[in-house]
Structure 1
Amino acid sequence: MTTAPDPINYEPPPDHPMAELVRRVRDAMSALPAYFSSVTAIEGLQASDLFTLNTVLGATIEIQVVETLNRIRDVWDPNDDWPLHYFIRQPQTFPDVLLQSRDGADVAIGVELKGWYLLSKEAEPSFRYKVTPAACGPYDLLAVVPWHLSNVLSGTPRVRTPGVWSARHAAEHRNWYWQHGRTTTLDTAIVAPEGAAPYQKRKPNTDRPAADEGRNFGRIARTGIMNDWVTRQLEATLAGVAVREWIDFFRHQQGAPQ
């Protein structure tokens, strides 16, 4: 297997004008569990139906996360340095959350926000992250928000501390892994869209692999970049039981005769 250096991470230098904002947005993400609230309530599900919850509630969770970020602006803008900016969600567009001015003329940073239902049978975030690195602003973030129901089988959504990575670094790491970090006999070339740049709507912005028979390109959780964080989530407890054990239990229930 050919080896290549893993791409560098992107962080603004301490004296950069964006450094404080990026740090505080990360702090706001970490504070989400304390401030997040939802009026959505789920009742009457069979255990075998729980695996479908991310499809049903994923977008709702993301909307409520954006609402929470705007509600806690004292965390990410305590000195009122960005009084005209707020978080907006733009579904089906990368990044799907922007911290932008109210007139839309200025984008401070973007956040690609993904919900991860902790009890999903994959035991890892399963979304595909295919954006080309050139479409990421230098300080854009990829944030994965793990969530579960308050009573495991029912209740309201609760979120846990998100995993946050540089969006551009994650895209470059994905490409490095596809071309150098795995063993394959297939063509590992990746075709990037021409003219990609940050915050361009309705323009191609995804990388395309030359060969992907298993449709695995973009499965960012399988590239290793999230391994430590995912392990911590699976080892954490929910109602006194490790998340990993809940997943095993529900897998067994799903496979049991009805």
Structure 2
Amino acid sequence: MLLQDKTAIVYGGGGAMGGAIARAFAAEGARVHLAGRTLAKLEKVAAEIDAASVAVVDAYDADAVNEHVASIEGRIDIVFNAVSVRVKQNVPLVDLSVDDFVQPVEDAARTNFITSTAVARRMIAQRGGVIMMLSSSAARESGADFEMGGFSLACASIECLTRALAGEVGRYGVRVVALRPNFTPDTHPEWNIPDDGLDHLIKGTALRRLPRMAEVGATAAFAASDHAGPITGAVLNLSCGAVVD
């Protein structure tokens, strides 16, 4: 198993993507700590994972995150931030208020900075670990087809933090990686999207399809493993070719 005897924290672990990441880590042998705001959602994911722990933690609150990190005994090998941000979309930038534009940028910067640095301090002391963040293809797309508000800049800020932090902590054996998927349809089954409802997204991909949550989870597990040891300061492109690096 890729992550045998590793310990992982997933912030936002009760969400659809956070749950997929947690299940992938557990399937590869990791002990998983699920953290998020809603206990019922965390417990639902934990019921699908052997020996997962849950904790109600607001990942926008530095004190709460620091206390949660301190409560975990032993090594922390992996941390993944899958916390959602507040965003207003489908409004042209010229019609968007300053507050609505800035909100997702502030959210993404705050929660990712808090969780990454809190765990980085532990990883520096133990001389190793992997810090992971979640971006999206919006970081590299224009607003020509989709009015994404401040979400694009929010994702770009996550990718910038990935590079900056990797440069600082690499000397201590700590790696920092971000994942950049495109829209994953199975994240929102409640939307009941018709068969042709995503054609406008699919036609812009090289693979003529969109990524699945399980694929994002599997890539996260690989990137967190020792097999990906040379990878740091990198954004892994999981957009099915919607953007090309």
Fold equivalence (TM over 0.5): no
Structure with larger Rg? 1
State TM-score, norm by structure 2.
0.31
- Which structure has more helix as a fraction of its residues? 2
